[in-house]
Structure 1
Amino acid sequence: MTASTQDAFGGDTVPADIAAEDLQKWRDRKRYLWIFSLVPAAAVFIAVALVSLTGIGLFYWAGIVIVFGLIPLLDIVFGADGQNPPDEVMDELDQDKFYRWVTYAYIPLQYIGFGLAIYLWATGNLSVFESIGLATTVGITSGIGINVAHEMGHKKEEHERWLSRIVLAQSFYGHFFIEHNRGHHVRVATPEDPASSRLGESFYRFWPRSVKGAITSAWEIEKNRFERLSKSHWTLKNDVINAWLMSVVLFGGILVVLQALSFAGVLTNYSVLNVLPYLIIQAVFGFSLLEVVNYLEHYGLRRKKLPTGRYERCAPHHSWNSDHLVTNLALYQLQRHSDHHANPTRRYQILRSMKGSPQLPAGYASMIVLAVIPPVWRAVMDKRVLDHYDGDVTQANIEPKKRDKILAKYGVPAAADTV
């Protein structure tokens, strides 16, 4: 028989297609493939090893090749995932500690790689080109690390929520922990959400809006929380302040230690200019990787506003999804984004593909490349947004500055638009 499943939205998920007598034989065929998710965490080690073996400094850029070259290629080779866990095994999968340790293992790899990069910068032996390349590779690790933080930050266990903050410290994006959980998940696919991109909005217009909006939203969320408690928000208990302080301590501690090693004669060619610019580059590159993923997850999608003034409940059709196997492995199934919004605390190994969710033509890794080339992105995605709304572009979340142009382009006179 076919297992029938219901998601938290009240709709059917993709059926498990598994006979009752075969349930005991069911297993997660990806179980040990999840170790592949640690490849981005090891990007710095891979880059340094390739440089050591070949003497070619170009390999310091290996992180970009891994994420935007190797993973999309493997997506093409291995195709879609297609496996959903049946209801009967969900609890067992959730409690299996193996999956948690896969995410935990990312953190020491991330920070050891970060330390190795800092040492290489501090020696002063790298060219500017090599240093920037290494910074982008470190940024790949910290950027995908934000997804690890995302996975753990949604969980109820306090130690995982603290591990999330530790991961975010390297990219100086600790406020994401607050804004994403208590801001984005409330306002997703609405014009009020800074992390939901709009039809006609390029990534380069979205980036500053989302970065600024995330900071101001997180600050307001915490400020309001303390106001409800009749307390000042200027306190270390403010989760925005203590998150930023972790980054200040991390970055400040690095520079102090390096300066001390320089005074001690251990780092004879050390200069703060050998390190600080690349600490900044890796952080900006890292959180920009998060923002480009934000950009593609809800592009042009909009929840309807009800007569009450509230928005309709978030549903599968409010998130772009993809079920390409290799990117699923690399991003802990973030591509099964509709299920994540339905069940934010659900662990990655039991996220499901869902009926009714719009599908991207490729995995996230490939779509990121398109997103940074606006004409290509719009050629691929705008028609999909239009098709998603059966040709009625007025239902989309449209960039305000381009609204009249977009309505005119798709045959809807601006005067007739009452949305």
Structure 2
Amino acid sequence: MVMTTRPKVASKAFDAFVAVVLATACVRSSAQTVKVPVDPGVRGGAAGAGTPLQGLTADENAFFRDGLARFADIEVVTGGNNNGLGPRFNSNQCLSCHSQPAAGGSSPARNPLIGIATLNGAKNVVPWFITQNGPIREARFKRNPNGTNDGGVHNLFVITGRSDAAGCNIAQPNFLPAGNPLSAQGGNPNIIFRIPTPVFGAGLIEAISDSSILLNMKADASLKAGLGISGHPNAHLSGNANRSANDGTITRFGWKAQNKSLLMFAAEAYNVEMGITNQLFPQERDETPGCLFNATPDDTLNFTTTSTPTSNPNTAVLSDIEAFADFMRMLAPPTPAPGTPSTVNGRTIFAKIGCVHCHTPSFTTGKIASGSSTNPSAALSNQTVNL
């Protein structure tokens, strides 16, 4: 998600908070019964997520449904309808990692990677930090064997042994020594973990203008300075301010907010998480001879093979990465739980003591094209984005 600033809050902010708490305590009558806060736990009822944005046109809704269907497609190495898996991969389906509490979410209650490890005859050993009831984890190595910085994803599985990858013989990374399987603590100190991030409302995040982010950062400058709050657009892997190396604009998606758009985000994930090359990442991450079975990129535009009186024979059908981006772009944010006296009071105090100067409550999207640059999308344009 987007982090507009990286704040450094001085002790003044903490002092202000303490003062409010003490003042509240002083006016409390000794005869009053002190209510102890109770954690309500996970809310019940419907998921409140996974639906399309309100106000989509019929065309937008059709593209959303197409993207959702492809989000659930299972990938294979070769010989199927969705080819290109591997040679190294973390899973074989977008939905397997993004399904809780609905499509577009995070790890499901039961970890599907246990079965995927040996699917179709694969010889993978399930890594120690992947458990039946634990979260899906992506593994990155901090350093290379020679001590230089790494930071890249090291895929959990390989296609060796699969019936659709005859002749491939590559090994999984070494994730040992093992630690606590559930917490993933205490094991190989060279590994850092990430869990799948939900993408609910991602299209609204994409639709926030750079100028809005920068103006918000500069707003109430003197007040923020007095509280010791400062920062810049969230830094990414290179350590630079979060600017695209291509056009200098603010990026916002990915584990370090390094990707500019949902299309780039989808393309990187398809290549890194499933090993499927595409038009933005056209080379395999592992080009070991004997493990390459398809022409690359695996995912590309799909040209129609026949024409009709009303169509052009070269009309292109969207690639998977474009369909994934459409699904995420038009996926609604989660519906908040109904307010209670406690949450309303907490929100008021949150604003009163200055928390909102670091934690921006909301933004408004710009004028966003979807299908036509002359007819902005009503579902994406001038919408409030609650953060």
What TM-score does the superposition give when structure 1 sets the normalisation length?
0.22
More helix by share: 1
More strand by share: 2
Largest Rg, 1 or 2 = 2
